[in-house]
Amino acid sequence: MEQHGTRPPNDGPRRGTPPRTPLPPQARHRPGGAGGPRGGRRPVPRAARGARQAGSARPARETRPGPEVRRLPNPRLTGLGSGLFCAGAMFLLGCLDQLLLGASPAAYGVLFLPVCVLTALWVRDGDVLTAPVVLPLAFAVGLLPVAESGGGAVGRLMGLVTGLATEAGWLYGGTLVAGAIVLIRRAAWVRSRRGHG
């Protein structure tokens, strides 16, 4: 009896089909050849790959500018402007001292120090040497409401002289602080002018 479930191994070519011939090397590397990429896909040129990569790249995050930092006022006063500023400031502080603190000379001397620092910092570079000169005058102007007055112009003048004598320490201290700031600024200004020259 013949067994239909088994087939002889098919080692050779089928009948009626031409024998396969080996392909030349050029055909193996062609897109449509046997040695081409799987699925019959054509290789993508390098330019197209670069365009795809550029298109698929994620856009860079936009950097938002941070909040603006508020700077302290930095005016540049002339020599006359610095004199008017410190004289007006000291007269106003002297009036406030008389109204709020009962004309305290010590409080007036303490308030004189920040005015000296601001005057030395706010005067412009060309007139920086005028700050130590105008500060004693401003101290005397602001001392008018604070000084004790015995009545009349002569009594007020005597009170002013007495106040200047007793509060000379605050006057010298504030002037020395302003003078140190002025010398530092002056040296920096001269150095910058030599560098530009």
Mean pLDDT of 87-116: 93
Q: How far apart are CA 120 and CA 137, in angstroms?
A: 15
With both helix axes pointing from N to C terminus, report the angle between 131-143 and 105-122 in degrees, rounded to the nearest 10.
150
Q: Secondary structure of the chain: what % helix, strand, coil (to 5)?
A: 60, 0, 35
Helix (H) / strand (E) containing 137: helix 131-143
Residue whose tokens read 């409401």: 145
Helix (H, G, I), strand (E, B) or coil at 77: strand
Q: List pLDDT tens digits, range 13-70.
A: 555 555 565 656 555 555 554 444 454 455 555 655 554 554 444 555 555 554 554 5
Q: pLDDT value at position 42?
A: 57
What pTM, to 2 d.p., does this model score? Answer: 0.59
Domain boundaries, the chain: 79-196
